Amino acid sequence: MLSDFHQNNWSSAIEDELQQLLKIAVAEDTGFSGDLTSRALIPEKLYGSALIRSRESGVMAGIQAVAAILKIINPVLEWQPMIADGSPILSGDKIGLIKGPVQSMLIAERLVLNLLGKLSGIATLTKKYVETVAGTPAKIYDTRKTTLGWRRLEKYAVRCGGGRNHRTGLFDAVLIKDNHLAVGHDGGGQFTPAEAVIQAREFFRLHSNSFHFEHFPESFSQSLPKNENQSAPFMPIIEIEVDTLEQLQVVLPVRPDIVLLDNMVLPQLIRAVEIRNKLAPEVELEASGGINLKTVGDIATTGVERISVGALTHSAIALDFGLDWS
């Protein structure tokens, strides 16, 4: 049975990425002088509490990141979440309570609201796609079209919305695209799709000792597909992109794990599924390219198992949250 790509549930790898982002975020907001407005108006020893509330309906994502934001601003700040990631939320819902020094809370406010808004926007959009294809064999996947430095966080938000994660990075799966084929053998001639799959598989067979799981750092290996025997050689998922039915027919006999059908229209997708069912029914098909909420439902009925949507992360609109003093 085909194993899937690593799924980005909350982990130490995500927390490490968040810590790196927060160092940049705090520095760009406070500079060398801190919060000038709060320093001028708010007594340093004043303590208070405030509620985070949603101002739109959607799907929650980012709750687990709030504590890390508050800690980096001031470890004295307290966070009491009132809802879990992945939960549906309505406008006006209480998300959580922050307590502590008011100056520190005001520094943290925009960082918290920005992060919750961005991640919840991705989760909310993902949920719409997932609901649109409900009842079909198709699963909704994200892509690498993510904000620089935010990839694991954004892919986590996709999971909160019920979507699936495609490869986390170049390091955890083989995806042979048209540019790989075009460069070809030592840069001197194009690969056929079948040749490329065969060579990739042979490479990992010959060099498997370089890819044992024990060779990877813990934070890195969390993003690698896992086998039952973690001491076994690393054999990644091998996926290849095709843009014609002729290429599909050529590559199916060598049985890649997944074939990505790039920018194919509905009649082509239907025919692709027929060809796959006849030649290699164990190979999964992924539709990709310009897919939106208007088209995804029809694509899901063609019989493809996977639909990858870059818009989940590159076009999601942030959900609106606010901080209200209590």
For 54, 133, 261, 308, the CA distances from 138, given in Å and listed in that order, are: 31, 7, 14, 10
- 194: DSSP letter: H
Handedness of CA 144, 148, 154, 156 (dihedral sign): positive
For 146, 154, 172, 214, 240, the CA distances from 200, given in Å and listed in that order, are: 26, 29, 14, 22, 10
- Whether 177 sits among the annotated catalytic residues: the reply is yes
- 291: DSSP letter: -
- 223: DSSP letter: T
Cα–Cα distance, 12 to 142 (Å, whole number): 21
Question: Is 267 exposed, middle or buried (CB count within 10 Å of its CB: 0-12, 13-18, 19+)?
Answer: exposed
Tell me if 23 sits within 8 A of 149, measured CB to CB: no
Q: Which of 109, 142, 241, 284 is catalytic?
A: 241
Cα–Cα distance, 201 to 182 (Å, whole number): 19
Q: Which of 128, 262, 271, 320 is catalytic?
A: 262
Single out the residue of 155, 148, 160, 162 nearest to residue 313, CA to CA. Answer: 155
Q: Which of 144, 177, 255, 271 is catalytic?
A: 177
Question: Is 73 exposed, middle or buried (CB count within 10 Å of its CB: 0-12, 13-18, 19+)?
Answer: buried
Cα–Cα distance, 27 to 33 (Å, whole number): 10
- Whether 118 sits among the annotated catalytic residues: the reply is no
Q: Which of 71, 94, 145, 271 is catalytic?
A: 145
Q: Which of 39, 110, 205, 278 is catalytic?
A: 110
- Whether 110 sits among the annotated catalytic residues: the reply is yes
- Whether 145 sits among the annotated catalytic residues: the reply is yes
Contacts of 153 (CB under 8 A, 6+ apart): 14, 17, 18, 21, 62, 65, 115, 119
- 67: DSSP letter: H
| Tokens representing residue 304 in the block | 């493809």
Contacts of 42 (CB under 8 A, 6+ apart): 102, 103, 106
Which sequence positions are flagged as catalytic? 110, 145, 177, 241, 262
